[in-house]
Structures are given as C-alpha cells and as structure tokens.
Amino acid sequence: MQTVINGVLTNYEVVNPKAKKTALLLHGWGSDSSYWLSEIKLLTDNYSYYLLDLPGFGGTQPLKPNSDVPEYREFVKAFIEKQKLENLILIGHSFGGQIAADFAIKYPKLIKTLIFISPAIVRVRGRKVWLKIAVTKVIKPIIRLFPIPVINFILGLYAPKDYVKANEYQKSVLNQILKYNLGLKIKEINVPTEIIWGSEDKVIPFMGKYLVENIPNANLHLIYGTGHLPHLTHPQKLANAINQILIHEPT
C-alpha cells in the first residue's frame, strides 16, 4: 500500500487488517517491510500489523539529507495520525528500536506498549569502530580517482559495512544517527517495555541487561542461540517470544 506522509510517498503493508488490536513495526537499518512479512505471519492473529518502510528504504522516498532520529520520529507520528492508529503496540528492531525509544519519550500517550528487538538505543563505539571511521575519512579523498570496483574493495576493508552498502542519502543519515545516543534519557521511557535480545548478538552486544536496569517497567526476553537478525535466522524462536508478550497484553 502507499500513502503520502508530509509530502513523502510512503510504502507500508498491513497484515490482518480486520483485527481490533494494532501493532506497528519499525524495521532496522538496511531493511524494509518485506524482510518482516514472513515473521509477522507467525504471530497471533489477534492483531492488525502495520509494517512501515522507513524513509529512504524499501518503497518510501527519503527525507531531507542529514535527517536524524527526531525527523524519523516525527515521520512515524504523522503516519500514526494519518492511519488513525490507537492503543498501539510499537515494535522496533535495531534502528527502528532507536526511533521507537525516542518516540516513546516524546509521545508516551500515543502508544500502549513498546517491544524492542535488539534496539540500537545506546550508541557506544568501540576503539575498532572509531579507528575504521577515522581511516575511512582519510582514504576517501585519496582513492576517488580509482575505478569504482577498486574503491568499493578498499572501503570494504576499512569502513563499517552499513556505510559501504549505503547510498548517498543513507550515508548522510547514518552519520547523524550514529551520534544520536539516548543514554540516560531512556529512564524517561514510562510505558510498559519488553526487550528481546539474541544471546549471540555481535552487532549490539551486552545491552539488554543495561536497558532493562535503566528503563522503568521493563522486562528482558533473551533468545538463546540467536544474533542480531532473529527474524531471518530464527523466525520461530522470535515469534514465540513476541507471541508470549502479545497474548498476555491487557485488553
């Protein structure tokens, strides 16, 4: 389906549209709604599931260059208002979780429950990541005259994979969101929060415990043997965790 949100042509999918309860899913970086359709079909049919392509991904047009988490948050708010979604379960994976957290802090009355799946909420870069970014900034001007395959190969050795695979718009956004660290602000999240984390997540490791200790009224669900993309690698395990939350959700 398509609609226009704040002048942006927007793509989204709806599963179980006649269900009375509603959940909105925000996908992670480099993804779109199509990556989640198979997973959603494993979930309880008591909910109507909205799968939104975030700007610059899938079938949704980009926002302005250098857009940051707040711009995406406001886009999501405008989508919710246009679709007239109420008593909402907001589900966010990775980058989508970062947006969902910011949304919950700013607009707590618009959502009923948060479900985070390996959310990129607290942005802490290790020394290796900082070194890669520094080296990338130095070599980019030097290698611009090389053939494109050579450029991509060299950048692939030093730059983070998300950066190498991104188009120019996405790179401008990535430069912003990597600096957007909610940090202690997560204590301001006052809606019921369920955190799902893979025990083998190497992309954003060891953050589930920190979040559940700092977000009031939060629970942690650890899925053993899964990494950062459980919807692709272990869909049934993830569905079991989500269904456990949804089925026990108060009416």
Per-residue pLDDT of the chain (251 residues; tens, 9 = 90+): 999 999 999 999 999 999 999 999 999 999 999 999 999 999 999 999 999 999 999 999 999 999 999 999 999 999 999 999 999 999 999 999 999 999 999 999 999 999 999 999 975 544 444 444 454 455 455 545 555 454 444 444 434 566 557 889 998 998 899 889 888 899 999 999 999 999 999 888 878 888 999 999 999 999 999 999 999 999 999 999 999 999 987 76
Q: Where are the domains of the chain?
A: 2-123+181-247, 127-172
Q: Are 82 and 12 in contact (CB under 8 A)?
A: no
Cβ distance 72 to 172 under 8 Å? no
- Domain 2-123+181-247 = CATH 3.40.50.1820: yes
Amino acid identity for residue 162 in this structure: D
Strand ranges for the chain from DSSP E: 2-5, 8-15, 21-26, 47-52, 88-93, 111-117, 193-198, 218-223
- Its pTM stands at 0.86
Whole-angstrom distance, CA of residue 249 vs CA of residue 156: 44
Q: Cβ(195)–Cβ(220) under 8 Å?
A: yes
Distances (CA, A) of 111 to 11, 23, 76, 158: 21, 10, 12, 40
Residues 203, 26, 162: CA angle, nearest 5 degrees: 35
Strands (E), 68-134: 88-93, 111-117
